[in-house]
Amino acid sequence: MKSRRQARTVALSAIAFLVMSAVPAFAACAFGCSGGVDLFFDRTQYLWPGQTVTWSTEVFLDKGAAGPEDGPFFAYLVEAGRPVGNAPHVEDGVRLGTVETSTGHDPHYFVASVSFTVPVSTPLGEYVVEVCDDPCANRLAYLWGTPVGVVTGDIEARLNERIDSLATKVSNLRWSMKNHAQREAKRSSNVLRVEMAVTEEKLDMRISELERGLVDFEKRLALQEEAAERGDVSQSALAGGVVVFLLGAWLVRERRRNSL
């Protein structure tokens, strides 16, 4: 028996995709207070008219759902695309068999199983196997419908299963590639931020050096001006001091503009 407890984590959107129908909003525990639903299988089962199968799965149960004691419960084969709700719509569907239950590994779980033969008159197409009571007013716990594709035979069934497996691998690969690209982009962004911080720190240090140099230039210029007033310095030296002053003023202006 294959455990399907992982199916309880399947998102509601994935269920809608599997059964190809719209999903309305329900109360908080409509799909089980455990946070999900149970399935016989979490992917499409390909069957053919006249085939006999036995399905079994472990099902979660709480006080908000119908349990085995509320039965009997039956499996129905219905066309895909019907509205999804607390109770399945099995009108015009085919009753496949009685769902048997047995004790699970703890009081909150039980095992549900069903054996049935796909009616030989079933047209090829997409279906869902639903489980509910009679009349169909309640699901069995949170056991949701299992998608079924009725095909011509074993070869087509195995081919479709292979196609589905490849499609899943492609989807997983795309998801992995997208996540990898996002991680690389984030890493590159972090590296860029660090490099920018280092560059800004170096720039601040250089500006501080220039500011100190400017202070020295201004002091020297003042001394030269005093000396010029006393006639101790030539006109050329005074001109050089002016150039130095203008250079320092330009550096300060550039720093202020870059800091904006």
Taking only the tens place, the pLDDT of each residue in 129-182 is 999 998 999 999 999 999 999 999 999 989 988 888 878 777 787 877 777 777
The two three-digit tokens of residue 195, written as one number: 């490099």
Q: Rounded to a whole number, what is the largest CA-CA distance in the chain?
A: 122
For 26, residues 6+ apart whose C-beta sits below 8 A from its C-beta are 85, 86
Q: How many whole angstroms separate alpha carbon 42 and alpha carbon 153?
A: 21
Nearest residue to 88 via CA among 126, 131, 125 = 131
Cα torsion angle, 147, 152, 158, 162, sign: negative
Instruction: Output the pLDDT for position 215.
Output: 73
> What is the model's pTM?
0.54
SS3 label, residue 165: helix
Residue ranges of domains in the chain: 5-152, 194-259
Burial class (CB in 10 A: 0-12, 13-18, 19+), 207: middle
Give residue-wise pLDDT tens across range 91-105: 889 999 999 999 877
Q: Which CATH code of 2.60.40, 3.30.410, 2.40.10, 3.40.50 fits the domain covering 5-152?
A: 2.60.40
